[in-house]
Structure 1
C-alpha cells in the first residue's frame, strides 16, 4: 500500500497534552484533518500540574506556528521569571529578577496552556474517554488502534503524544522508562497572601530552590494565589510502602520528611509543614540515552513518548516544538511517510543530544549551587529584596 498524501490521510494523535494539541492545532491551520484521542473522560477530569516556563527558542516558537503567541502572552506571568536560591539555614544566596519587558521564559499554568490549545481546536477534534490499549496492523498500513473499551479505529498515521509510559512507543521501540533514583513529593498551597504570608514573602513572585546534595525543596508560584512545592530526595522507588506509609497518610509522611530534613531552617521547612492537602508521590523516570528507532511506516512519537528526560525545563518545550515540526512536515510533504522521515531526521538527533546533556540530571536538582549558579542569579538583596 502506498503512503497517502497528508491531506487524504487519517491522522490520529494519542494524548491531549501540550505536544499533541500543538501538533493538532498546526495541522488544522494548514487544512489537514486530525483526531486526538485521550484517556481522560473530559478536559477537566484531573489536575494538569504546575507552572511551565515556555522558551523563546522552542515552546514560544511552536505557539507562533499555532497562531497563539499573542493569546499566550495574555495569560503568561513574566514576573514569575524571578528565581531565588537559599541555603538550608534560610539565607538568601542569590536572586535573579527579570528585566523590564523580558519574555525569554515566562510562566504559565499547565492547565491554562492546555485550555488555550483546546479552545483553538474545532469541537469534536478531541475524543475523550479513549485510553489506548495497543497499536497493531501491517507495516504497509493501515494501523489499527484498540482502545481499553474494546473499540477500534483504523488510521494511516498514529502519533504517540501519550507521555512517559506511552502505549504507542511499543510499536517502534522496546525501550521502557527507568527510575532515576530521585523522587518528588508534590505539595499544594492555596491563598498564599492570606494563608501563607511568610512563605509568600520567602518565595517571591517566581521560584525558590534549596538543596544540600541529598535532598532539596523547589517552590514555584502558580496563578491565582497558588503555589506548588516539590520535595526532592534520593529514595528507593518503594520508599513509601517500605516505610509503612500510605499516600493518604499526610501526617505520617510529614513526620518522615521533618526527620529527613532535620536541621534545616524553620523558615524553609514551612514548605513541608504548611501544605494544604496531601502530598503526591511523583518518582522521576527517564528513557535510555539515546532513544532512537528505525523508521516505522504509519507510526511516530513526540514529547516524553519519544525522549523522556529529567524535569529540567525542557520537556514541554521540546514536546511542543516536536508537535509543530511534525505538523509542518506533514503540510509540506507529498506523503505521510516522507513527512515522518523529515521530522524524525531532525527530532531524533536533537533529542539525543539534549538527553545526553541531561543524563543523570535528576541528581542536579539536589546539588548545592556552585559559583556559576550564584553568578547567574546575582547578589542577594542587591535590588532591595530580602537578604539573610
Structure 2
C-alpha cells in the first residue's frame, strides 16, 4: 500500500498536491485551520503563469475547469505615475500568457475536485514532533493529534512544520501593504475605475521612495488595491500580526478601532498623488487590512529529514511578486508527481522533489522585493510571455 500523506494547510499548493495524489491513488488527508471553506476571504486576483501555475493545473487534470473561471480582459495593464499620467498601457486581446482568475474561485475548483472528507476543517496545527521511523505527530488546537507517515507543510509563512527541518524564521522586510476594496466602482468612483482600466493598475513615484500601489479589477465592478507603506512593522499601532495568507509572504491583520486615523495617515503619505489614485485609500468600502511583508533567506534549504517536506511559503517565502501562488501550485504538482513516480521509495521521491525545489525557490526570491523604476516595469510588461 502506498504511504498515506498528511498535508497541513489547504491553500492552493496543498490542494494541488492533494488532487495530484488523489489522481494517482495515494491516500491523502488535508488539515486546515479555517473552520470552513467560506470562513474568510481568499484574496483577490491571480495571474496564472504558463511555466508554473498552468502546468500544475494540467497535472491536476483541471485545465477545463480553470478556463471556466478566467476573467476576460483582466490581462490589461496600465502603468501610471503619481500624477495619474499614463506611462504605459497594454490591452488584453486574449492571447496573453497569464490569464487572470479570482483566488477564491480557483480554490473552489480545487476543493470540488477532491473526495468529500479529504479536507478536515477547523484543524489548526499548534505544534509538531518527530516520532520513530520517520513518522511525526501534529498537535491541533483543542487537544487533538494526528500521526503522519509522510508530513507535508503547506502551512504558509508561519509554518509549524518548518521547525522539523529548519530553524529559519521569516524576517520583516521593512514595508507593509494595506489592502482596500472599492465596490461598484464604475458607478460610485468613476474616475478611479477609469484610472484602473480593465485589468491591473500599477502607480508609482519615479523617485523610488518606496511608495507605490497596485489595483485589480475583479468581478462586479470591485477594485481591490494594495498600497505600499514603507517603515516599521508597528507603525499603525499593531505590534503582532495574526493569520497568514499562506501564499504571498504576508501576514494579515484587520486594522481595529482607529481605522480613520490609519487611513488618514496612509493618505498623508500619498499626499500630492492624483485624487483618483488616493481614492483607493480614502474611499475604501472595507476595513483596511494591514499586511506586513516578510521573507525567508533567498537560499533557504535544509538537509533531508525522513518523512517530512515543505512547499510554497513554508519553503521559500518571499515578498509578493506575482510568483508566490504559482510557485506553490507548481511545488504541489511536482511533489505529487515525484511521490507517484517512486511509490515504494518515499525518501527518493522527497529527495528528487527537493533537488528541484531549492533552486526554483531561490530563483524566484532573487527577483522579489525590488523597488522598480518605470522603465524596469515597462520592460517587464513588454517581455515575451510564456
Shared fold by TM > 0.5? yes
| Unmatched tracts of structure 1, length 5 or more | 1-6, 379-388
Instruction: Tell me the equivalent position of 2:116.
Output: 123
Q: Is the 8 A contact 1:178 1:286 kept in 2?
A: yes
Q: Aligned-pair RMSD on alpha carbons?
A: 1.8
Superposition pairs of residues 1-388 of structure 1, within 5 angstroms = 7-98=1-92, 100-138=93-131, 140-212=133-205, 213-214=208-209, 215-241=211-237, 247-333=256-342, 334-358=344-368, 361=369, 363-364=370-371, 367-370=372-375, 372-374=376-378
Tell me the distance in 1 between the aligned counterparts of 2:348 and 2:109: 30
Tell me the distance in 2 between the aligned counterparts of 1:180 and 1:50: 22
Tell me the distance in 2 between the aligned counterparts of 1:246 and 1:12: 34
Shift of the 352–103 alpha-carbon distance from structure 1 to 2, 3 Å rule, reads: same
Tell me the distance in 1 between the aligned counterparts of 2:59 and 2:331: 12
Q: Is the 8 A contact 1:78 1:102 kept in 2?
A: no
**Alignment partner of 2:114: what SS?**
coil
Tell me the distance in 1 between the aligned counterparts of 2:16 and 2:378: 35
Q: Is the 8 A contact 2:157 2:170 kept in 1?
A: yes
Runs of 4+ in 1 over 6 A off after TM superposition: none
Q: Give 1:55 deviation, angstroms.
A: 0.2
Tell me the distance in 2 between the aligned counterparts of 1:164 and 1:286: 8
**Alignment partner of 2:367: what SS?**
helix
Q: Give 1:248 deviation, angstroms.
A: 3.3
Compute the TM-score of the two structures, normalised by the length of structure 1. Answer: 0.90
**Alignment partner of 2:221: what SS?**
coil
**Alignment partner of 1:122: what SS?**
coil
Compute the TM-score of the two structures, normalised by the length of structure 2. Answer: 0.90
Q: How many residues align?
A: 364
Q: Is the 8 A contact 2:182 2:283 kept in 1?
A: yes
Q: Give 1:373 deviation, angstroms.
A: 3.1
Tell me the distance in 1 between the aligned counterparts of 2:311 and 2:35: 23
| Unmatched tracts of structure 2, length 5 or more | 240-253
